[in-house]
Amino acid sequence: MIIGAGLGGACLAHGLKKAGVSVAVYERESARHDGFFGFRAVIGPSGDRALRDALPPDLYETFAATCAESPRHLTVYSKGLDELFISSLPAARRETGDADVGLKYASFMTLRQLLLTGIEDSVRFGKEFTRYERRPDGRITAFFTDGTSAVADVLVGADGAQSRVRQQYLPEADAHDCGFVVAYGHVDLIEAARLLPWEMLGGISVVGNRQGLSMITQPMEFQWDREGELKGHVGGVHAALIKTWPGLRYDNTRDHLMWGLISSSRLFRADPEAILGAKLVDVVADMTRGWNSALHTLVGLTDPATAAATRAVVSRAIDSFQETGVTLLGDAGHARMPDPGAGADETLRAAGLLCGQIVRAVADRRPIVAAIHDYDAQVLGSGSEAGRAYWKCLNRKARMDRSVIGPMLAAGSRTRLRVANQVPSLKKRVAGEYRWVQGGSAA
């Protein structure tokens, strides 16, 4: 049984079901369309292969058809929208023949609906997990807030960064606050196009100021319109796949420009868990009041239903693992929140590895607990290394927040960006340093 029907849990369920392994998924949300999952998921070669292996061929092809247009360039601006640096990005191929080229950008909500397609009979909605118990026969009993319980040979916690499964299974691996807050939002793409320079409408943009604030924007443009109908230029195989995909009726994703504001907790001046919607939009608008008027106006046009904020957290390193029928997947195992989309790729990769371990153990009549232990050592251990890299990355950014050294570092960074923009060898190196913005690496 899998706790959580997010990307990792649903992908694992597909893979197990495909292999003939009995699986049940328990999801806290009360219905398929509940919750907001609208931010981007960046899928690289590892996650792409996991999806290809787990999904039926037509559903995998639908995944490729429902991804957003790939960004064409990365641009860095000052808060006044002065261009400091621009570099072209390799385009991902929309066709499904090559899974190893580029990054694919998907809406979390779209990908969630796609992964729930075909496993509807395995998902139990409205099941909020509370705790588990190990039975004398080695099986696991999970308990839920509605008073029900379920029993299985294996329990996989795929219930996010605040995982209740992790809190019981590995209490020493709790997530701790990194001292940063990230706020997010969506603006209708047509509205954004009336305000922003064309470069910001065709790629990923990073805007920074001298006080350590950074804003990342990216247009997310899909093959259907505001009414959920196919756009006029879409035809062929993609049109047939999207038209026949039942998940689109549950998906509220439309063309938009997503933005994310990274701030120290000190500068944010509000409890991110205590403000939502229009109040959060007002807070971010106030923080960007001295920025270029187009950016300030853009924030004000944010759909309140898409506005959310989260503290940056990272889970503590895990040094040893128990041999039990319990394991963790995705942010439940190694939280790095927020992660600019890259966490989705790692979660899908891990789901593929866990699926492979379980399926091989069943086929070879090997003890499941041994297979899970191998997975824990391979995936959760490497996740700890990634967590340390994430922490190191945030510590570098924390220096920008200091009252004296911050503006000096910002001024030096702007000079370096302008020079790199004119020197090809340096340009390539600097572009690599911004790979985390694309979703390619947490560090």
Both structure tokens of 77: 């601006």
Asked whether residue 80 carries a pLDDT value surpassing 80, the answer given is yes
Instruction: Tell me the one-letter amino acid at 280.
Output: L
What pTM was estimated for this model as a whole?
0.88
> What is the Cα–Cα distance from 16 to 6, expressed in whole angstroms?
15
In whole angstroms, how far apart are CA 102 and each of 46, 90, 99, 430?
Answer: 11, 6, 8, 19
Average the pLDDT over 115-134 and give the result: 96
Q: Has residue 212 got a pLDDT over 80?
A: no
CA-CA-CA-CA torsion for 287, 292, 293, 294, nearest 10 degrees? -110
160: left (phi > 0), else alpha (psi -120 to 50), else beta? left
Residue 379 near residue 350, CB atoms below 8 Å = yes
pLDDT tens sequence across 316-328: 767 667 778 999 9
What was the pLDDT predicted at 247? 86
* Helix (H) or strand (E) segment spanning residue 131: strand 129-134
Whether residue 206 contacts residue 216, with contact meaning beta carbons closer than 8 Å, is answered with yes
Q: Contact, 220 vs 105, CB < 8 A?
A: yes
- Bigger pLDDT: 117 vs 388: 117
**Rg (Cα) of the chain, in Å, rounded?**
22
Judge contact between 66 and 246, C-beta under 8 A: no
Under a CB-based contact definition with an 8 Å cutoff, are residues 381 and 39 in contact?
no
Q: Which two tokens stand for residue 80?
A: 């006044």
pLDDT confidence bin for 20, thresholds 50/70/90: very high
The pair of structure tokens assigned to 76 is 């860095």
What residues pair up with 40 in beta bridges, in sequence order? 107
Work out the number of other CB atoms within 10 angstroms of the CB of residue 120: 9
pLDDT at 152: 97
pLDDT at 210: 65
3-state secondary structure of 173: helix
Q: Which residue shows structure tokens 């299974």?
A: 169
Q: Write out pLDDT tens, residues 26-74.
A: 999 988 877 655 578 899 899 999 999 999 999 999 999 999 999 999 9
pLDDT of amino acid 402:
54
Q: Could you give the count of Cα atoms lying within 13 Å of 90 in the half-sphere of its Cβ?
A: 13
* Distance, CA of 294 to CA of 195 (rounded, Å): 5
Share of the chain above pLDDT 90, in %: 51
Nearest to 397 by CA among 305, 273, 265: 265
84-88, 148-152, 248-252: least confidently modelled range: 248-252
> Confidence class of residue 262 from pLDDT cuts 50, 70 and 90?
confident
The pLDDT of 196-211, averaged and rounded, is 87
Beta carbons of 344 and 336 less than 8 angstroms apart: no
Which domains can be identified in the chain, with CATH numbers? 2-438 (3.50.50.60)
* Lowest-confidence region among 40-49, 180-189, 240-249: 240-249
For position 234, what pLDDT does the model report? Answer: 84
Which pLDDT does position 398 carry in this prediction?
Answer: 52
Question: What are residue 180's phi and psi, to 5 degrees?
Answer: -130, 155
Token duo for residue 309: 């904020």
Asked whether the beta carbons of 346 and 158 are under 8 A apart, the reply is no
pLDDT of residue 441: 47
